[in-house]
A and B are shown apart, each in its own frame.
Chain A
Amino acid sequence: MPESWVVVAVSLVYLSTCLVLGILPGRKASGTAEGYVAGDRTLGLMLMYFITGATIFSAFAFLGAPGWAYSKGAAAFYILGYGALGFTPFYFLGVRAARVGREYGFVTQAEMVAERFGLRPIAGLMALISVVAFVPYLALQMKGSGYILSSATRGAIPEWAGAALVYTVVMIYVLRSGVLGVGWTNTFQGIFMMILAWGLGLYLPYRLYGGVGPMFEQIAEQKPEMLLAPGLTSSGQPWHWGEYSSAIVVSIVGFSVWPHLFMKAFTARDVATIRRTVVLYPTFQIFLVPLFLIGFAGIFFQPGPERADQILPHMLMNMEIPALLVGLFCAGALAASMSSGDAMAHAAASIAVRDGLVRAGDRRFDPEQERRLIRATVVLIMLLSYGVAVLYQGSLVQLLLSAYGAVVQFAPAVIAALYWRRATGKAVLIGMLAGAAVTVYFILFPGHRFFPIHAGLYGLLANGVLVVALSLSGSAPGPAGDQRFLNVARGDV
């Protein structure tokens, strides 16, 4: 059993490093909202690669991916499968967004869509959906970090204190440095996570089975259903191919339009940087493989954990391994939680102020004032999420799935805004509302679906059909300036 103080010491050293790395770049950014939210549009390839990669690999990836492989087997492969193509649309969308962003001064996704269609309520709706999605997500990251610290120290640090400690560090560097703080810490945390995941992913199968090959041979002999797609559900029943396939399709369509990810298009130094980031992204995705190996290594581990997503810390705490290694795992898992949580907090505050107040509410601020307001909102959103994490006892996952299902419905609006001249604001707004309603309904009542496919796909179908049909039936070609917007998007100006 590892000694707690070593674990705590390693974690503290790690947190201090993140703090220093996160605070330093703040001196360079300008004092405006554009500097705080979009880093003055100066980010190069390395920061873009890690800011997008590490943001996606959250506490869910570090705990959830092994948990899926452990309990649902090949069902987990869908996460890797959608990652193959998931970022590809951004090669086209991101570039167009960056061009109009620079021309019109956008720093968020919703203000871009609202400006294109000349319809302010769109920004308000998108801001609302985004913030509603981010708060439970951030709360889950906080819970994850508290859980990790608490279990690695066998309760010496209670969960609420662990989460408070970790997220105070995050809050300081997000406040101080904005997106540059997020970028620099994510670069460090991304590298750290990768090394640690590969280390553990190869070490655990070796230690428990004598290697990756012997491990899979034993699984193939005793539980072959774990290794064949579409895998199992959480109750151990075979998963449906329709669910597996449609989950991949929905994720590919929706991935690029997640607001915290999409708005990074506005941070890039140039168009080539965005393209290179997309090209390199699959290399980050490979990092899921060792996390799957960890989960598969747990299948024959006795005694089993209480919950599937505890499998990794559970194995570490019940094996004879050096405390230093447990400390490093702890830091790696915190890296995963922090590198997503920071981007969430930063994006949620930027969106709430820029889209909610400035666009939808038509309030005017000078750049300094706006930056201060966004910072105040960062604190507010983090406190709110912490409150949810500590106090709320219901199912956060259900809330999160519903909100994320609604976020995917931004896709038709974003694509139409950047590509389709005939699309109208009214059509996009109605499509988004209908798509979100359909998705949330089928998430809450999965039994009402006609066919076992992902709720988000029903939403996307309704959304897409409405956008096209209503746009084509409307006689008005949209507000003046449309053509110029699209010309800028194409790079023709």
Chain B
Amino acid sequence: MKILVPIAKVPDTTSKIAFVDNNTKFSPDGVTFIMNPTDEWYALVRAIELKEKQGGEVVVIHVGLADSEQIIRKALAIGADKAVRVDADPTDAYFVAAQIAAHAKTENYDLIIAGKETIDYNSYEVGGMVAELLDLPCVALVQKLDIENGVATIKREIEGGTETVEAKLPLVICAQKELAEARIPNMKGIMGARTKPLAVVPADATEKLTAITSYAVPEKAKECKYVSPDNVAELIRLLHEEAKVI
């Protein structure tokens, strides 16, 4: 089975979020960049588990500039077999999806497993876009994925519960929590990752459909109104009369 896993580079969750150039650009100063957690912990690890069980190959693809090499090597250290980096700045989801789809068209992948969202733009979009570009079935918010005889059994989140669906391969999956347990690369993996193939390819000329014109940070932390634990009635009164939420 051949599996493609798109991975993104994002600021670490604890990073200070700041903007420069009149609030038009994210400031990378002092920010640690990591592999997007849902891509790494769930999509990549489940792909590797499926390969370990059924044989095949796991390829990671990343759209980004040369400074992304570290996260690509980490994906290889965790267990991907090879990597492709499309050399472009990933500023628009449609552009990124088009690059991934263009690569996927040249290889016959049985499965593409993406993370459900990136933790920077929280957009839940690249997996679905790739599926539409390739005219493939797609299931998102996936918590469980098993494959037998070319048929996937998938558990996905719905409002207030889960749903189990079946779909034939080839297929696109958007992974979330519970799909797999995060793996920490071991020394053998880290050493091996250095020599695994990493192809750098130019981007195609797909246009960008969106642009971010400005950012804003919430002006000031909320002022918490404290109520004494001996006066709980006052809290309920405030929620009813002031906040008007109950």
Do A and B bind?
A: no
Q: Which residues of A contact B (CB under 8 A)?
A: none
Q: Which residues of B contact A (CB under 8 A)?
A: none
